[in-house]
Chains A and B, each alone.
Chain A
């Protein structure tokens, strides 16, 4: 009797597996993405041909399907920050790169984001940063949004820091930020306030040149 039961359950598993595999196949085929041609990308970004080739080879090696989904993105980014938890910040980054909001970062998204960050003008970079902080993309950075970002950044540090990260450290940092940026003290930072303020800050201006030669 036990044998019969075992046989029945096996059959059920097999049937389930068959349907699963069909769905899996559909899913896989949907996720193969080919990027635009080299010329178009050259036009869209500020990389030259060789650089695009190098970038694509690396990208394709890591993501043979042509797109990065959020989990992979989080994994990759977490490898750089082993001490802390980089998943939240990676989530925000993902949203910043995924310009067309389709849940995956294709090579074009990737390379356009990189182009702005590495070869863009200061204005463009600041724009990008603002976009990152503005989680709901409504044009204003609220204190809550900033707090989320700040907490995410401090999470990346982990707990073994000196001095220790206290519970309200992110909040204090947010206050500092708003004191600096929020000129009209209305509790939100708009894009103009942000860009203005950053352009007047020498430190920020200087640091913008830091990552020019990354690629």
Chain B
């Protein structure tokens, strides 16, 4: 029930006394009201901004947070007030709703934020007052469209194909997104070129060329070089037919494809040629055949696959269909009216051009669109008067729907621009988000590397362990618990793909550690303890080839599985330095600091250098010569 209804309920109940003498049955007992009837002022503190209101005001809407007992959860005993940690500006509007019974939408606020506040306080947005409902709905629709674009851009065909794609799917993808593969791009440009060639040929065909020797008359080029043009035409049609058939084959839904506008255009573009082939050399039929040649000009519409602007224009016209229809209708009406008037006005004139009403149509149209060819001109005074009225009103009738069409076009154009920008930025955004996520995982993995999970002395962990917040501690503990539960361990993607790739034995000497370190390459090892004995990690050559510099600050220390000597391969500086068996082959160095790669590391047993706090030098060695490992990290 609506707002102030609660206020009037006592009145309605009182008025029920009027039914009592008429009642045929006994009245039911009234509900016992235990609440104190007296009104009191409540204090509501929203992020420091204190509001005060009568309790009755809030009680008006018992199904909201503030009107029900739910607000007791937010009651602060010490300060004797209700504390909400929400936006105080928005709360103003919420409270006004309770006071006046009408919910208004503040125009300067983000619609999502507003809806979230409403959801928190238990108010449905449908009760926004009429004054603000329009604005709210428009903004909401706009927002939804924008979000839909975002998700669309995410799911756009730029996503890599699933590995098991059939030829058909690959072909279709190549057709729809030409920039995905070089072949597709080549094909795209080739067809574009041939469309242009075909259109130009059609045009040039009709240009008068110099006549052949012996003749005086100018010939159109098409007849002079008929063989050449025929060959060109054939080539183009062959290419177009081939393209059409390929598309038809590759289309996921052939019926839908056959019905789509583009395919219709394709068919119309190549049909005249085939019809011309099968048509007999008949005089009268060839007349019709010539008309068919006109359809060749439709090839120019094939450009819309290549040009986004054309598509936008088409889209605009589609969306403005009703306005265009109205324009057409009003024009037709005006044309008929004025043509009739002009015809009857000019009826009396001798030798007039206005021979019939349909003949006057031409005059009316030419005049209303302010063309004024002058081939038909009124003579009588009445004709001239009505002619001038016609031209004046013509301007108005045409000017009316044009702004609508223009605004539609601009809206769709901007939408497209936005979509394109979104797509372009999407990749960067996704990459950043991925990195942020990886940061968290990396932190955990590094934490493991640093031996934080060991029950060893915590004092030595101080050296290389970065500062971690309480949150991180707990988070890492949680991840560790999960590892224990499943008896598996977390690694990173590179390691994972490596493991997938190199499941075989084989290892290579890893002199190129220094190389990789110089390049600051990012590599990682598989840190699967379970597989440690079985798998020997690919060496740094592999890692070099993979050298993609990460733009992260985190150091990614990984361990090798080659734990022939020691089951655990945690080689941390702090922990038993004597046991530093080399397990870790690779490391990731941030680009910030490229650690000085000791070129002779692999074979030497380097003494640990704890002098440099947190610097661990890592050297790779093959699994057989397990030497000391010193990790290099960058802080």
Chain A residues with CB under 8 Å of chain B are: 1-3, 50-51, 53-54, 57-59, 61-62, 76-77, 79-80, 93, 96, 110, 113-114, 117-118, 125-126, 128-129, 132-133, 149-150, 153, 173, 176-177, 194, 198, 203-204, 206-208, 210-211, 213-215
Contacts and interface: CB of A to CB of B under 8 A. Distances in A.
B7 A214 contact: no
A113 B8 CA distance: 13
Contacts of B468: none
A80 B26 contact: no
Interface in B393-410: 393, 396
A207 B26 contact: yes
Nearest to A212: B30
Interface string B422-442: 000000000000000000000
A57 B54 contact: yes
Contacts of A213: 30, 33
A61 B99 contact: yes
A93 B18 contact: yes
Tell me whether chain A's interface is mostly helix, strand or loop, or mixed.
helix
Contact of A50 (B2, B15, B18, B39): B39
Contacts of A206: 26
A62 B23 contact: no
Contact of B30 (A93, A133, A211): A211
B213 interface: no
Given A58-B56, A150-B22, A93 B15 contact: yes
Tell me whether chain B's interface is mostly helix, strand or loop, or mixed.
helix
B612 interface: no
A59 B56 CA distance: 12
Interface in B1-52: 1-2, 4-5, 7-24, 26-27, 29-30, 33, 37-39
A81 to B, nearest CB: 9
Given A2-B396, A210-B30, A211-B30, A203 B14 contact: no
Contacts of B38: 50, 54
Nearest to B100: A61
B264 interface: no
Contacts of B21: 126, 129, 177, 194, 198, 204
B11 A114 contact: yes
Contact of B24 (A96, A113, A118, A173): A173
B246 interface: no
A23 B434 CA distance: 67
Interface in B361-420: 389, 392-393, 396
Interface of B: 1-2, 4-5, 7-24, 26-27, 29-30, 33, 37-39, 54, 56, 99-101, 389, 392-393, 396
A153 B23 CA distance: 11
A128 B23 contact: no
Contacts of A117: 14-15, 17
Given A62-B8, A173-B22, A2 B17 contact: no
Nearest to A6: B396
Contact of B8 (A76, A129, A132, A177): A76
A204 B26 CA distance: 8
A62 B17 CA distance: 23
Contacts of A132: 18
B56 A214 contact: no
Contacts of B99: 61
A153 B20 contact: no
A177 B22 contact: yes
B54 A2 contact: no
B387 to A, nearest CB: 13
Contacts of A59: 7
A114 B14 contact: yes
A198 B27 CA distance: 15
6 contacts: A2-B393, A117-B14, A129-B21, A153-B22, A210-B27, A214-B10
Contact of A79 (B5, B13, B14, B24): B5
A63 B14 CA distance: 19
Contacts of A204: 20-21, 23
Nearest to A77: B12
A76 B15 contact: no
B17 A129 contact: yes
Contact of A176 (B10, B15, B24): B24
B26 A203 contact: yes
Contacts of A215: 10, 14, 37
A51 B56 CA distance: 12
Contacts of A128: 17-18
Contacts of B100: 61
A59 B16 CA distance: 19
B67 to A, nearest CB: 15
A62 B56 CA distance: 13
Contacts of A80: 1, 5, 8-9, 12
B33 A203 contact: no
Contacts of B54: 57
Given A54-B39, A80-B9, A153 B17 contact: no
B391 to A, nearest CB: 12
Given A50-B39, A210-B30, 16 more contacts: A1-B392, A2-B396, A57-B56, A61-B4, A61-B7, A76-B4, A76-B5, A80-B1, A113-B14, A173-B24, A198-B21, A207-B20, A207-B23, A207-B27, A211-B17, A211-B30
Nearest to A113: B14
Nearest to A208: B20
A117 B19 CA distance: 12
A211 B18 contact: no
B220 to A, nearest CB: 49
A1 B393 CA distance: 7
Given A50-B38, A57-B56, A204-B21, A211 B26 contact: no
Contacts of B19: 153
Contacts of A150: 22
A133 B7 CA distance: 26
Given A77-B12, A211-B14, A1 B23 contact: no
Nearest to B395: A3
A50 B55 CA distance: 14
A88 to B, nearest CB: 13
Nearest first, the 3 A-B pairs at minimum CB distance are A58-B7, A117-B14, A207-B27
Nearest to A118: B14
B344 to A, nearest CB: 18
Contacts of A2: 393, 396
Question: Of B1, B8, B15, which is in contact with the most chain A CB atoms at under 10 Å from its CB?
Answer: B15
Contacts of A211: 13-14, 16-17, 30
B303 to A, nearest CB: 41
